[in-house]
Amino acid sequence: MTIFSKIIAGEIPSYKVAEDDEFFAFLDINPIVWGHTLVVPKQETDYIFDIDDARLGRMMAFAKKVAAAIKEAFPCRKVGMAVLGLEVPHAHIHLVPLKHEGDMDFAKKVSNPDPARMAETAAAIASHFKPNP
């Protein structure tokens, strides 16, 4: 079981943003900017491009709804998307509110983000999430 499956199962805590029957969104624990969110499939797959086409399409549609909520909660030019997957072997999309190109910089991780601010951030994004926009 991956660390993200344990998060989805509620066995370890996370700052949850949204979920549906197939996908789960929560804050990255080491955000590169405030609002940095991860979208993961509930079914474990390591490499995102091993996910079948239909599910991958639905994952993108779910990420799109989360991105809209991030943009409402954290005004930005665009919400950027990145897939690395070098650390955790459970496919995930990083969504990052961008004001400048340099905001998408994974060398700028905050290692001990303030828990209260993380909770506020997740709640703000969750409040704008529309399951069926």
Q: Where on the chain is the footprint of ligand AMP (CB under 6 A)?
A: 3, 14, 28-30, 38, 84-88
Nearest-approach distance from CB 7 to ligand AMP, in angstroms = 6
Q: Name the residue nearer to ligand AMP (CB basis): 47 or 130.
A: 47
Query: Has 92 been annotated as catalytic?
Result: yes
Nearest-approach distance from CB 43 to ligand AMP, in angstroms = 17
Beta carbons within 10 angstroms of residue 51's beta carbon: 17
Q: 27-41: buried (b, 16+ CB within 10 Å) or exposed (e) per residue?
A: bbbebbbbbbbbbbb
Nearest-approach distance from CB 132 to ligand AMP, in angstroms = 26
Active-site residue identified among 36, 92, 94, 128: 92
Distance in angstroms (rounded) separating the CA atoms of residues 87 and 54: 25
Q: Kindly state the tokens that stand for 69.
A: 């909520």
Q: Name the residue nearer to ligand AMP (CB basis): 78 or 109.
A: 109
Q: Kindly state the tokens that stand for 16.
A: 């949850």
Active site residues: 92
